[in-house]
Structure 1
């Protein structure tokens, strides 16, 4: 009996032990694999010494081990984009990064750079803090900048990411330099937290530039949407007039699609000594313009053209887009044949919007169209590179011009603007004035952006354009878009009662075909036009032109050549890399054109009606 009692006791203890052990093991298993908490990403952006041109970034990652497969891999890869959407060039933003470190619970963990834009952090922890510095001393719309006056952030050049976390929400906490009070951005502010913003994913973050400093702001409402304009730089302007004209431009642009997709919109405007341009974003844009942009009517209208261009991008590109332009691969080129549409047709709309808003008279708009055609037809590259090829090669040619680029390339901006005009006319003529380019934009917006939630292919775009025109557009796509062959412009202008005419002055003066710059009083060749006398007879870029027919050349080369006849041979002495050479150069016919749109005689009522419909004449 005593022995049996002991056995019963041992059995009871074992049962309790094994039960407790099993329970403990289950608890331990559950602790190691809790219901996965959502990853969170917070960027803390500071600029404690702005005079050094450095931003400091702290990237706080929480609950990331599962999403990033950190426990399986034993590491986490953190990357910096190599380009930013809207500017089609690999810019290697990682070149400005330094002092990359990673910490877990305040202790540094090992990390190393494994590619040009990627750092590997050897950690399996849920929470990770990354710190790094970014040198920012290039004030453009596609780079970041900070100095004692202000800071500007192009997010692709500032904020790193992990591939698996790109769809996760992120917060940005801006810690302005102590003397600064203002932040402007399209990011959504977090209620109750100063200088704190949120993005629904990394794509939205990249698409939201940030201006930090003491800039002035003004506001206006257009299409029932609040708009903010942040003005950096010392500049005089009439705020009331400027706000009213912004409103006119924005509301006219909105009539194209007929719907405004934003809850708010932000303009960041940098007034700088020289240069200019803009970069579009989902609900904001950054513009760069001269400090005297508002001083004359000409420069003021030029600025409004820039406003119209970048603002219209909130539809065309950001929502109406080729399928290649989103979601983005931030590490590689994103190729498309359709930048002539995305950028070029936005250039078309910039002036078309100003015409419709009343900033251009009909006559002024016709001059714009004729000048656009003159510009591309005077560039030899228009017979070498098609608009589609120009779009595809943006990554290697568009942003990297050299002295021969005008001979071999054409800008998808300028050629695309002309193509936008021609496509608009094709749709007008094909539909007997019932539809125009707006209807094509509206269809693409509704069908692909809203309904299918994607971009469109080249074939889908052509199908849509032909549907709007009510006919095939073989000449437009085969000749205009996909070849470098001459365009029969008058086939497009005849339905609106116009003829494109070359009004360049007829002259017997010979043509040299060399562009020069004056350097330290010396005339140095900067470009040579294909097919010209200089090109054929061997004048090279970089040659210093010493004399023409034994007359010393300074800054008066044009005067020395002016009045010489076609077929006349000049004796040109040059200094080429320290060696003196004498070149006989025989002048050729001047190939430059100057186009003007002129009314046809005896215009029909149908032509007049279509003309008025085209130019919004009531």
Structure 2
């Protein structure tokens, strides 16, 4: 059909780890800009996948068409005719993440945002997708099948549809009255959990219960779980989620629950962030970073509820939830960056900070996932005091914005809160805009919970040390820590403690005592120096526990909070 774009992906020689792309269309204008996406929705940083593209050629029936590069990811074809054109190029596919492209002889997994070009004037045109691969492989894609390929209504839907290919089959699972597809990739040493499909169904149904609606994706939903030797994460799509988990984590006591929490997190994203989307992401701009403070809501709210979903699904209990919540809140309390970066700033600076953090970033930044989850907990408890809940407000925002494709801003949420508690709406503004403004201890106290410090078993040096080829190197000196007070900085090599040579980071701690100054010999840019280091007693983490003397009012609110819906 005229105006459509045909996309064909060649995976026939997977050992080359390349995707050969062919795109065919008829230009509607004489000036065509071809743009390769700079980022993938759901992963908010510029990753420049164009670095993996080469062998770009544009031809028409009349012959080759010259391309002029406008930017690293943009090309201009000038004075083109309205006749069929053919664009070909190759994408190197060796990066196995949920947001990039990977092909090898075992399987292929890729986000189309790392593979397919955006053609001028075709953003809202239908795109047809075809994939060639070995006869023993099957191709899985959440797009609608039409004829001999898949059909996307527009470029956005195409990019939102990851492709998995290999010698494996999908298996159906059911959520309420809807049939989804579960695709398991990999082979855990101990095998896949025998109750996985049943537990996934329970988690997904609990998510629908939380949101008060059937799954927005209906019957066209694929859940992909890749079990690898390393890695953790997921990426959400309108009709799909691709998850990566690792064998070592699965074998830990809490590993299976963490996998189910990840499933719940990505499944909830069907509502929150995919369809209930911050205004700045309607529509997406694939050529530039899109700054939005709404990421705290998209990821923080979702991260809070993914802790809750196993309880709602009946695969966990209250004491386990308290442990999981305590671990999450402890990470916030232990992060010095919360005193520097606000929650709104954390979301807005995701493009240059969160995804590019280093070992020293903890001193100046805080994850909007974790601080957002902590803020969600505070909001939920305060709303419970007023007979409402965070889930109720999320459902309300879904009805007014998500269901109708309307982007939301902060004011839409505060307007809902004002109708319940004007003071809470003001508090949210403060929590978003001011660093270290979240009253976690006070909010926990409302439900009769408290944070108890768990002391470090070793002296706190205020230093992060690394072993590097028999050398002990400072990687971080904590703000206001003993190492900073001793004027040690990242890059320094620790040579000796009180005249005793050290060759491993563990040896440093073994030679030090709390409040006992020690003479540190170090090397900085090959020059030796000495300094006095006085270790202190430190806190390893904070443990959230119930207050034995909780009042009846606290117990009543605690029970109300545990209902979550």
- The TM tier, using the shorter chain, reads over 0.9
Q: Any idea what the Cα deviations from partners look like across 1:505-542, whole Å, max 9, x if unmatched?
A: 499x8531111122223222222211101012221212
Aligned to 1:574: 522
SS at match of 2:314: coil
Alignment partner for residue 262 of structure 1, among 217, 223, 226?
217
Aligned to 1:237: 191
Q: Any idea what the Cα deviations from partners look like across 1:257-312, whole Å, max 9, x if unmatched?
A: 11121122101222221111111111101111113554454221121111111111
1 CA distance for matches of 2:228 and 2:547? 42
Alignment partner for residue 492 of structure 1, among 430, 439, 443?
443
Aligned to 2:410: 458
Aligned to 2:392: 439
SS at match of 1:198: strand
Q: Does 1:187 align with 2:143?
A: yes
Aligned to 1:610: 557
Residues 293/266 of structure 1: CA separation in 2 closer, same or farther (3 Å cut): farther
Aligned to 1:54: 18
Alignment partner for residue 197 of structure 1, among 133, 150, 153?
150
Aligned to 2:468: 519
Aligned to 1:332: 288
2 CA distance for matches of 1:617 and 1:172? 42
Q: Any idea what the Cα deviations from partners look like across 1:9-53, whole Å, max 9, x if unmatched?
A: xxxxxxxxxxxxxxxxxxxxxxxxxxxx84110101102322121
2 CA distance for matches of 1:617 and 1:321? 22
Tell me if structure 2 keeps the 8 A contact 1:547–1:573. yes
2 CA distance for matches of 1:158 and 1:225? 31
Tell me if structure 2 keeps the 8 A contact 1:370–1:596. yes
Displacement of 1:109 in angstroms is: 2.0
Higher radius of gyration, 1 or 2 = 1
Tell me if structure 1 keeps the 8 A contact 2:271–2:402. no
Tell me if structure 1 keeps the 8 A contact 2:456–2:539. no
Alignment partner for residue 548 of structure 1, among 497, 511, 522?
497
Residues 579/266 of structure 1: CA separation in 2 closer, same or farther (3 Å cut): same
Correspondence 1:398-417 to 2 at 5 A: 398-417=354-373
Aligned to 1:321: 277
SS at match of 1:472: helix
Residues 114/46 of structure 1: CA separation in 2 closer, same or farther (3 Å cut): same
Q: Does 1:224 align with 2:177?
A: yes
SS at match of 1:547: strand
1 CA distance for matches of 2:290 and 2:75? 23
2 CA distance for matches of 1:352 and 1:57? 43
Residues 562/442 of structure 1: CA separation in 2 closer, same or farther (3 Å cut): farther
1 CA distance for matches of 2:202 and 2:192? 15
2 CA distance for matches of 1:614 and 1:325? 32
SS at match of 2:238: coil
Residues 163/215 of structure 1: CA separation in 2 closer, same or farther (3 Å cut): same
Tell me if structure 1 keeps the 8 A contact 2:175–2:205. yes
Tell me if structure 1 keeps the 8 A contact 2:474–2:492. yes
Tell me if structure 2 keeps the 8 A contact 1:46–1:174. yes
2 CA distance for matches of 1:588 and 1:293? 33
TM-score, L = length of structure 1:
0.86
Aligned to 2:97: 140
Aligned to 2:328: 372
Aligned to 1:16: none
2 CA distance for matches of 1:291 and 1:374? 26
Residues 617/407 of structure 1: CA separation in 2 closer, same or farther (3 Å cut): closer
Residues 560/132 of structure 1: CA separation in 2 closer, same or farther (3 Å cut): closer
TM-score, L = length of structure 2:
0.94
Q: Any idea what the Cα deviations from partners look like across 1:32-75, whole Å, max 9, x if unmatched?
A: xxxxx84110101102322121100110103x32xxx22xxxx3
SS at match of 2:371: helix
Aligned to 1:538: 487
Tell me if structure 1 keeps the 8 A contact 2:454–2:539. no
SS at match of 1:156: helix
Q: Does 1:426 align with 2:382?
A: yes
Displacement of 1:588 in angstroms is: 4.1
Tell me if structure 2 keeps the 8 A contact 1:102–1:129. yes
Alignment partner for residue 513 of structure 2, among 543, 548, 564?
564
Q: Does 1:312 align with 2:261?
A: no
SS at match of 1:581: strand
Residues 504/610 of structure 1: CA separation in 2 closer, same or farther (3 Å cut): same
Q: How many aligned positions are there?
A: 561
Tell me if structure 1 keeps the 8 A contact 2:152–2:158. yes
2 CA distance for matches of 1:111 and 1:488? 57
1 CA distance for matches of 2:102 and 2:418? 45
Displacement of 1:545 in angstroms is: 1.3
Tell me if structure 1 keeps the 8 A contact 2:113–2:159. yes
Residues 616/364 of structure 1: CA separation in 2 closer, same or farther (3 Å cut): same
Higher mean C-alpha displacement, 110-119 vs 376-385: 110-119
Aligned to 1:33: none
Residues 215/574 of structure 1: CA separation in 2 closer, same or farther (3 Å cut): farther
Residues 495/57 of structure 1: CA separation in 2 closer, same or farther (3 Å cut): same
Aligned to 2:159: 206
SS at match of 1:56: strand
Tell me if structure 2 keeps the 8 A contact 1:88–1:395. yes
Aligned to 2:115: 158
Aligned to 2:124: 167
Residues 582/563 of structure 1: CA separation in 2 closer, same or farther (3 Å cut): closer
SS at match of 2:316: coil
2 CA distance for matches of 1:253 and 1:464? 22
Displacement of 1:204 in angstroms is: 0.8
SS at match of 1:395: coil
Displacement of 1:555 in angstroms is: 2.5
SS at match of 2:273: coil
Q: Any idea what the Cα deviations from partners look like across 1:435-490, whole Å, max 9, x if unmatched?
A: 21111111111101224x211111112212333x4443156324422211343334
SS at match of 1:504: strand
SS at match of 1:511: coil
Aligned to 2:6: 42
